[in-house]
Amino acid sequence: MPTNWIKCTSLEGDLVYVNIDLVRLLKPVGEGSGSRIEFGSGHVDHVKVKDSPEEILQKLNELKNASGI
């Protein structure tokens, strides 16, 4: 199974790569404050990023289109 990574920006402004295959929940963090990305790893793991849920979904769609999924 291929691993799909997208680029996001941490709240501190650093570049982070998210393995989108492991995401189980994506939700907004306040109005215009980014997203909380939770992973389905058996215990609560998450990362907060500046990217909105809509921006993350757009990146996922671009990744799918580029790979022909």
- Domain range spanning residue 41? 5-67
| Residue 39, strand partner residues | 23, 45
| Domain CATH for 62 | 2.40.50
Number of domains in the chain: 1
Please answer whether residues 47 and 12 qualify as being in contact, where contact means their C-beta atoms are separated by less than 8 angstroms. no
Query: pLDDT of 9-68, one tens digit each?
Result: 999 999 999 999 889 999 999 877 899 999 976 666 899 999 999 999 999 999 888 876
User: Could you identify the residue written with the tokens 């757009």?
Assistant: 58
- Please state the pTM of the whole predicted model: 0.83
Kindly give the pairing relationship between strand 5-9 and strand 35-40: unpaired
pLDDT of res. 43: 67
